[in-house]
């Protein structure tokens, strides 16, 4: 056998092998055709959405469940307050149920459980505050899918909204129990799809508006904490430019659980914010609240009311560049 013939045979064998692998990987292309939802809801009321998707199956698969996940604020406790029903052309209808907490998402980093796998893969989408979670459901029934099947799915999603006034963007995921987050050969997103909504608003609820959609003037890390955690407070001077220069100090009052207050407002070096490297206009300070306010063992903080000032103390920058202080509430649920 001459060299050219051997080369053609090797190439043909390689192409057949590659096509075989490709066929195994692209079992079913998943398409998220759209989501219908309102632009807002009143706090405590039921949020409703209709999700439409379809699947182009390339070969037979047995005992497959269709997966839907929704990205929502943690305060909604959606795993306790969410229902999904579905209908699928030629496949019947039924209810979706929460994916058991121990089930791991196929083809995910470190073979993580579904909520963690989605958070690792897609984060919080376009939201700017990391206080959101992926809540994952799948069909209560398993299905056998033949090559050439094209299931069309319509899902009705209902979630009781939380009580906090807020703005955020929903995330939606569709996929299957068999393929999970498989990106092999088909490219990212062939076997699953995601979609993120426009900014959604919860009104007529409790507290100031938590805005996950727009860059905040100031934020804490971690977002949820106790007064015994180390906190980093960041102030973005460029979000709403004001009169402060580069010499910025924190002036804060601790509202204690017993109703009393402690104020720490001196222009001391340990109260000074430092520029964030590589982030023009951002300044930050890291502190331990219990030490910052000199708490006794019996005392505990409920909220911190704070603003930013200069060395003289004459300039006060609070919410919206007014003298109304920003508020941070301690919560760790």
Residue carrying structure tokens 């037979």: 60
Residue 225's contacts (CB-CB under 8 Å, 6 or more residues apart) are 231, 330, 331, 332
Residue in this structure with the two tokens 């560049």, named with its chain if needed: 321
- Residue 135, pLDDT score: 98
List the one residue out of 261, 276, 270 whose CA is nearest residue 306. 261
Q: How far apart are alpha carbons 282 and 131 in whole angstroms?
A: 21
**Averaged pLDDT in 10-residue chunks for the chain of 333 residues:** 44 38 53 97 98 88 93 96 94 94 93 97 95 97 87 96 97 95 72 96 92 93 93 95 95 97 96 95 97 96 97 93 92 70
Residues recorded for the chain? 333
Distance CA 131, CA 75 (A): 8
- d(CA 67, CA 180) in angstroms, rounded, equals 9
Helix ranges, the chain (H):
3-25, 78-81, 114-122, 289-292
Strand ranges of the sheet holding 206-211, from the earlier edge strand across to the other edge: 40-42, 200-203, 164-168, 206-211
Nearest to 231 by CA among 244, 218, 240, 243: 218
Full DSSP string of 201-219:
EEES-EEEEEESSS--SEE
Residue 183 has what pLDDT?
86
Contact by Cβ (8 Å): 82, 155:
no
Domains, the chain, with CATH or none: 26-208 (2.60.120), 215-329 (2.60.40)
Predicted pLDDT at 186: 56
Tokens representing residue 158 in the block? 């209902």
pLDDT at 187: 60
pLDDT at 25: 41
Q: What's the pLDDT score for residue 127?
A: 97
């Amino acid at each position: 056998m001459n060299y050219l013939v051997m080369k053609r045979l090797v190439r043909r064998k390689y192409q057949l092998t590659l096509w075989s692998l490709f066929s195994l990987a692209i079992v079913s292309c998943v398409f998220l055709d759209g989501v219908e939802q309102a632009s807002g809801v009143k706090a405590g009321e039921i949020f409703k959405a209709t999700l439409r998707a379809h699947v182009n199956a390339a070969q037979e698969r047995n005992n497959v469940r269709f997966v839907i996940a929704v990205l929502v604020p943690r305060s909604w406790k959606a795993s306790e307050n969410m229902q999904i029903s579905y209908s699928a052309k030629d496949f019947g209808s039924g209810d979706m149920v929460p994916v058991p907490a121990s089930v791991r998402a196929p083809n995910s980093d470190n073979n993580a459980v579904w909520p963690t796998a989605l958070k690792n893969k897609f984060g919080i989408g376009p939201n700017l505050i990391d206080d959101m979670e992926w809540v994952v459901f799948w069909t209560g029934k398993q299905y056998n899918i033949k090559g050439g099947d094209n299931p069309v799915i319509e899902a009705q999603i209902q979630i009781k909204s939380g009580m906090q006034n807020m703005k955020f963007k929903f995330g939606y995921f569709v996929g299957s129990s068999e393929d999970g987050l498989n990106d092999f050969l088909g490219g990212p997103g062939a076997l699953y799809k995601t979609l993120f909504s426009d900014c959604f608003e919860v009104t007529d609820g409790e507290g100031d508006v938590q805005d996950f959609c727009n860059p905040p003037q100031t934020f804490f890390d971690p977002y949820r904490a106790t007064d015994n955690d180390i906190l980093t407070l960041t102030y973005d001077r460029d979000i709403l430019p004001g009169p402060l220069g580069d010499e910025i100090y924190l002036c804060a009052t601790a509202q204690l659980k017993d109703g009393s207050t402690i104020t720490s407002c001196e222009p001391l070096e340990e109260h000074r914010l430092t520029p964030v490297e590589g982030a023009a206009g951002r300044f930050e300070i890291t502190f331990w609240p219990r030490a910052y306010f000199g708490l006794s063992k019996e005392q505990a903080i409920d909220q911190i009311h704070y603003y930013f000032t200069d060395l003289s103390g004459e300039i006060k920058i609070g919410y919206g560049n007014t003298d109304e202080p920003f508020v941070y509430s301690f919560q760790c649920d």
